[in-house]
A and B are shown apart, each in its own frame.
Chain A
Amino acid sequence: MARFEKLKKTWQTQGGISPDRFEQLGDQVRSSSGVFQRTIRRRDAIETIAAVGVILGAMVALPHATSWVDGLGYLTIIGAAILIAVVLWRARGRQPEQLSAANLRQHIDHEIAALQRQVHILRNVAWWYLLPIYVGLTLVEVGVFGPQLSWPMGGTLLLSQSLCAVVFMAVWRMNQRAVKQQLEPILGYYLELREAIDDDDDERLLAVGEPPTSRLLAPNPRYGPSPTAKRIWVALMLIAAGLVVAGGYVWYRAVDARTGVFLIICAPVVVLLLVVISGVWRPSDRGA
């Protein structure tokens, strides 16, 4: 009991931050708040202008499409721009109000919900952002270059597609890394904290000698496909590529040489890119 009273006395006689410095911090908060709001508004405006620009550009190009393939590509790009704008708008619109009077439990729930939304959006960035644009661009290029698929135009198409895929792959990997290295550890921390609130005996979160952060920062083992799933995935991709190449050869011999060559070249390239994007050679979080 005496120890506790001493602890309390020590706590209450400890200095906080000096009033002058605290006042300065308050002034900084007031002045920076307006800047922050303006930055957010500017970012939203830039994103909206970019989406409108892409849509307008595709709409202008649409009547000049040389075939139904690039026409479909322009439409896909318009759809992709709208989809991206809607996803971003919904993501921001669904951000809950600031939980000013929230207790700690509600605060943590709020943080978990916000983080899970971010994780979901970033993990699926390929579906709502990268792939629709990639498909649209591919269709436009195939439509434009389609009639001249022999070299050098076929090579140009292949090169530009590869570059595009590499850029998109880099964006995808950057997002996945952000999820894995930043969001998931924080989410894990909040989930454990949430459990600890309900748990009278949260000794496992005690930090004697070891800061809890080090354990909580460990990669979350719940994500990532198992090694077996990876092997099956690669096998299916190789089979699919083989079938497309075989089909391309048949097409080359029997129907249309240019399309046949296109299929024979594109199938292995696409499979190679997909394998690279998937990072299938990396060690699995679930162990070998």
Chain B
Amino acid sequence: MDQQRQRLCEERFEQIVGESHLRFGRIARAYAGEEAEDLAQEMLLQIWRSLPSYDERATLSTWSYRIALNTAISWRRRVTRSKRQPPPQRCPTDSLVSNTDFSDDGKLLQRFLNTLSEIDRAVIIMVLDDFSHQEIASSLGVNPGTIRTRISRIRKRLENWESDDGPI
């Protein structure tokens, strides 16, 4: 029985690793910049540890996305513990990241994300990844009305936002 369970966990882990490199990679870049790979590995570690308690109430991809986002928000905890310095604010140029031609738009996007609070950043990342308001609210543990307010405020902020290199 244990072996069967272990095998099931491994299959699920394979599935997550196979499907999530883009989404997790983007979250990792948004939260950890040049340390994106370290954060991505931490996300996978948390998922690996949590898999035995996966109860299929949510789809595997939503469930793992939630863990990835929680891990990303907690990433600062590890950074502060190990280095006592703020996470990198520059755009990553990691050669191991695919599509490394980090476009000007990409840099501006990263810069805009860096201006947001942790919660707003999580909200906007989920919006950009096409999650519904209901799913975002459920992932954050708040009501959908709050999410609508936050999204509206972030959009307004984006409209008024001017970066050093000009608007998006």
B118 A193 Cβ-Cβ under 8 A: yes
For window 1-43 of chain A, which residues contact chain B by CB distance below 8 Å? 1, 3-4, 6-8, 10-19, 21-23, 25-26, 28-30, 32-33
**Cα distance A197–B121 when bound, in Å?**
12
Q: Smallest CB-CB separation from A109: which chain B residue?
A: B141
The contact string, 1 if C-beta is below 8 Å from chain A, for chain B 19-37, is 0111111101100000011
Contacts of A171 in B (CB 8 A): none
B13 A26 Cβ-Cβ under 8 A: yes
B50 close to A (CB within 8 Å): yes
Would A103 and B139 be within 8 Å (CB), given that A4-B158, A18-B96, A22-B17 are in contact? Answer: yes
The contact string, 1 if C-beta is below 8 Å from chain B, for chain A 90-117, is 0000000111111111111001000000
B80 close to A (CB within 8 Å): yes
Would A17 and B119 be within 8 Å (CB), given that A103-B138, A213-B80 are in contact? Answer: no
B29 A22 Cβ-Cβ under 8 A: no
The contact string, 1 if C-beta is below 8 Å from chain A, for chain B 65-101, is 0110110011011011100111101000000111110
A186 close to B (CB within 8 Å): yes
B140 A207 Cβ-Cβ under 8 A: no
Would A213 and B87 be within 8 Å (CB), given that A29-B41, A102-B70 are in contact? Answer: yes
B69 A104 Cβ-Cβ under 8 A: yes
Interface size of A in residues (CB-CB distance below 8 Å): 62
A30 B13 Cβ-Cβ under 8 A: yes
Contacts of B84 in A (CB 8 A): 181, 217
A110–chain B nearest beta-carbon distance, Å: 9
Would A21 and B96 be within 8 Å (CB), given that A205-B119, A206-B116 are in contact? Answer: yes
Would A10 and B55 be within 8 Å (CB), given that A17-B40, A207-B115 are in contact? Answer: no
Give the number of residue pairs across the A-B interface with Cβ within 8 Å.
Answer: 204
B150 close to A (CB within 8 Å): yes
B54 close to A (CB within 8 Å): yes
Q: Smallest CB-CB separation from A4: which chain B residue?
A: B155
A182 close to B (CB within 8 Å): yes
Contacts of A63 in B (CB 8 A): none
B140–chain A nearest beta-carbon distance, Å: 5
B144–chain A nearest beta-carbon distance, Å: 13
Contacts of B86 in A (CB 8 A): 211-214
Would A207 and B116 be within 8 Å (CB), given that A111-B77, A217-B84 are in contact? Answer: yes
For window 83-133 of chain B, which residues contact chain A by CB distance below 8 Å? 84-87, 89, 96-100, 102-103, 105-106, 108-109, 112, 114-120, 122, 125, 127-129
A17 B25 Cβ-Cβ under 8 A: yes
Would A103 and B115 be within 8 Å (CB), given that A4-B158, A15-B25, A17-B40 are in contact? Answer: no
Contacts of A33 in B (CB 8 A): 45, 48-49
Contacts of A190 in B (CB 8 A): 77
Contacts of A98 in B (CB 8 A): 46, 49-50, 53
Would A101 and B54 be within 8 Å (CB), given that A186-B77, A202-B120 are in contact? Answer: yes
A-B pairs, 3 with minimum CB distance? A16-B25, A15-B99, A105-B141
Given pairs A8-B127, A33-B45, A214-B86, 7 additional interface contacts (CB within 8 A): A7-B112, A7-B168, A17-B21, A22-B20, A25-B41, A190-B77, A206-B115
Binding site for B on A (CB under 8 A): 1, 3-4, 6-8, 10-19, 21-23, 25-26, 28-30, 32-33, 97-108, 111, 181-182, 185-186, 189-190, 193, 196-198, 200, 202-203, 205-208, 211-214, 216-217
